[in-house]
Amino acid sequence: MIKVEGVRVAYGRTLALDTVDLDLRPGVTGLFGPNGAGKTTLLRVLAGLLRPTAGRVRMPDMEIDASNETFRRRVGYVGHDSGLYPDLTVGENLHLFGHLHGSRPERTAEVLAAVGIEDRRDTRVAALSAGLKRRAAVARALVHEPDLLLLDEPYANVDDEAAEMLSGAIMSWRRPDRVCVVATHGAKRVKAYADAGIIIQRGQVISYRIRVPNEAPPLDTLAETSPLEKQADEPGPVGTQT
Amino acid sequence: MNVTGVSAPTIARPRAPGFASKTVALMAKDLRIELRARDTLPPMLAFSLAVTLLLAFTLPSSTSPADPVDLPVGTVPLNDVLAGFLWITILFAGLVGFARTFEVERREGAIDSLLLVPVDRSALFIAKATSNLTFVVLVEVFLVPAFLLLFQVDVAADWWLLVAVLLLGNLGFVSVGTLFASLAARTTSRELMLPILALPVLVPLFIAGVELTSDVFATGGAESVTDKGWFVILLAFDAIIGIVAALVFEFALDG
């Protein structure tokens, strides 16, 4: 569904992504790797917010680029920050982004309930804890029911109960034609429901596995052969796409 | 696992809001944030009133704006000097505010969210420029009466001319300021970059503004303002810069 072809991203002399080729299929794909591996850079490229130095990223019917208004209708993105206005309330933020996307007004209440912060609707974002901000950010990304959902560390600072709710919200959003990429440096939470897993290290994809129906999540086996949980720096085996 | 997630949509999506509706929503967001945070208007007001007060003590005493004043560059009518003072104060007060144009988007990374909403970039420009125009006009609401009072300028007969000149000047000023604020926002030294980028472009606008305001201060009437080429220059600047800025804004934002 999303083809990443020979994508390279360089920040000056630093190569953040080194010739990444991927064929992202519908479902939830976990993007794993240690800090500085290139997860955020890859997500920003997938969101069209960062133009690669070389290579290209395509959806079946269009090039991925934030300057393309049609693409913008279909993408939901949560970066390292919440992407919300701190001086507006959670409800005002969601209403604003929902309105700009042309969502139903009721969507605000739906997504707030989905991530379990409906009682924070009238709280200013600046007054939220880090974990609550993450949940509000995911709600903001879901408010327009995007086809492509990109989440960068959605579980950061989130407690177990809230993490369950976030996972539930992502699973409920899932449809046969939708793609979600969840980047995290710890795989435990995403392993439970991911349909595929990518391990990225030093800007290179070292493993990409897709879950076979009726089998255990692909990352259970992936973690055994990779430095995923340990966040080791040594390069892993060259990955294969199964 | 608890799977109390987002239910599938059961109701058809409403008609997508149009350009004007989205522009108004974006502008209302900026004004609401300023109303709560008060990050932009107070420093602009404080700067403009402080500068006006300081300037009021620097001029030699004079009885009429038409009186000549001896300056190092020669002898000029006082109304020319006063018009220059007024526009320089507006210029730098405006730059203080424009530098903060995208600050609300930077604090929690909302710029990424904004770049990914399906809104024409020109709507973002119009919303930001209108917010900036509101701030500049609000500053002038306090600044101009204080200025006229402190410098004892009487424009009672031609007050509407002064308002017209200020509004026309403001239009071009906020267009340039908003456009270059979007460029400067991408740099780490944006407070420094904004004046470096904007001032050369603003020179013709401010010369026209000073010339026309000087005529108003000299109580020359409507003919003295409209008969001169500066009025046409001001109108042309607003039209050309306004259109160019709205078109170029997309590239400034997307990089």
Closest CA–CA distance from residue A147 to any residue of chain B (Å): 13
Contact in structure between B153 and B65 (CB atoms under 8 Å)? yes
Residue A236, domain member (yes or no): no
The boundaries of the domain holding residue B81 are 21-28+39-254
Measure the CA dihedral B65/B68/B71/B73, to 10°. Answer: 110
Residues contacting residue B193 through CB under 8 Å, at least 6 positions apart: B180, B183, B184, B187
How far, CA to CA in Å, does A20 sit from each of A123, A168, A208, B180? 41, 30, 11, 35
Interface residues from chain B to A (CB-CB < 8 Å): 1-7, 9, 11, 13-17, 21-22, 25-26, 29, 32-33, 36-37, 104, 107-110, 112-113, 115-120, 250, 254-255
Give the pLDDT band of residue B4 (cuts 50, 70, 90): very low
Closest CA to A43 of A55, A30, A25, A53: A30
d(CA A18, CA A139): 32
Whether residue B9 has pLDDT greater than 50: no
The residue ranking higher by pLDDT, B222 or A32, is A32
Question: Using the beta-carbon criterion (under 8 Å), do B14 and A104 form an inter-chain contact?
Answer: yes
**Digit-coded pLDDT (tens) for B122-153:** 999 999 999 999 999 999 999 999 999 998 88
* Residue to substitute from A50, A100, A159, interface B, most B β-carbons within 10 A: A100
Give the pLDDT band of residue B37 (cuts 50, 70, 90): very high
Residue B7, domain member (yes or no): no
**Digit-coded pLDDT (tens) for A20-61:** 999 999 999 999 999 999 999 999 999 999 999 999 999 988
B69 three-class SS = strand
Mean pLDDT of B217-246: 84
Residue B2, domain member (yes or no): no
A208 Cβ under 8 Å from any chain B Cβ:
no
**Digit-coded pLDDT (tens) for A197-230:** 999 999 999 999 887 666 655 555 554 444 444 4
d(CA A22, CA A60): 14
How many whole angstroms from its chain centre is CA A176? 17
Residues contacting residue B139 through CB under 8 Å, at least 6 positions apart: B41, B44, B45, B48, B90, B93, B94, B97
What's residue B80's pLDDT? 85
Helix (H) or strand (E) holding B200: helix B190-217
Question: Using the beta-carbon criterion (under 8 Å), do A72 and B117 form an inter-chain contact?
Answer: yes
Mean pLDDT for chain B overall: 87
What's residue B153's pLDDT? 87
Cβ count near B75 (within 10 Å): 8
**A4 has which bridge partners?**
A22, A57
Please state the three-class secondary structure of chain A as a single string.
Answer: CEEEEEEEEEECCEEEEEEEEEEECCEEEEEECCCCCCHHHHHHHHCCCCCCCEEEEEECCEECCCCCHHHHHHEEEECCCCCCCCCCEHHHHHHHHHHHHCCCCCHHHHHHHHCCCHHHCCCEHHHCCHHHHHHHHHHHHHCCCCCEEEEECCCCCCCHHHHHHHHHHHHHHCCCCCEEEEEECCCHHHHCCCCEEEEEECCEEEEEEECCCCCCCHHHHHHHHCCCCCCCCCCCCCCCEC
Kindly list the residues from chain B whose CB atom is less than 8 angstroms away from the CB atom of residue A82: 108-109
Mean pLDDT for chain A overall: 88
* Residue to substitute from B13, B111, B113, B253, interface A, most A β-carbons within 10 A: B113
Domain tally, chain B: 1
What pTM did the predictor assign? 0.86
Residue A7, domain member (yes or no): yes
d(CA B51, CA B61): 18
Give the pLDDT band of residue A234 (cuts 50, 70, 90): very low
Whether residue B14 has pLDDT greater than 70: no
Domain tally, chain A: 1
Residue B156, domain member (yes or no): yes
Integer Rg of chain A from CA? 17
The boundaries of the domain holding residue A23 are 2-225
What's residue A225's pLDDT? 41
What's residue A76's pLDDT? 97
What's residue A93's pLDDT? 97
Residue A239, domain member (yes or no): no
Mean pLDDT of B189-217: 91
What's residue B17's pLDDT? 83
Contact in structure between A141 and A149 (CB atoms under 8 Å)? yes
Contact in structure between A182 and A192 (CB atoms under 8 Å)? no
d(CA B23, CA B128): 9
d(CA B128, CA B31): 10
Give the pLDDT band of residue B15 (cuts 50, 70, 90): low
CATH code for the domain of A137: 3.40.50.300
Residue B9, domain member (yes or no): no
Kindly list the residues from chain A whose CB atom is less than 8 angstroms away from the CB atom of residue B122: none
What's residue A191's pLDDT? 87
Residue A232, domain member (yes or no): no
Helix (H) or strand (E) holding B33: helix B19-37
Whether residue B204 has pLDDT greater than 60: yes
**Digit-coded pLDDT (tens) for A149-189:** 999 999 999 999 999 999 999 999 999 999 999 998 778 88
B85 three-class SS = helix
How far, CA to CA in Å, does A71 sit from each of A6, A182, A234, B115, B167? 21, 19, 37, 11, 38
Question: Using the beta-carbon criterion (under 8 Å), do A84 and B33 form an inter-chain contact?
Answer: no
**Digit-coded pLDDT (tens) for B145-200:** 999 999 888 888 788 889 999 999 999 999 999 999 999 888 888 788 999 999 99
Residue B12, domain member (yes or no): no
d(CA B206, CA B177): 13
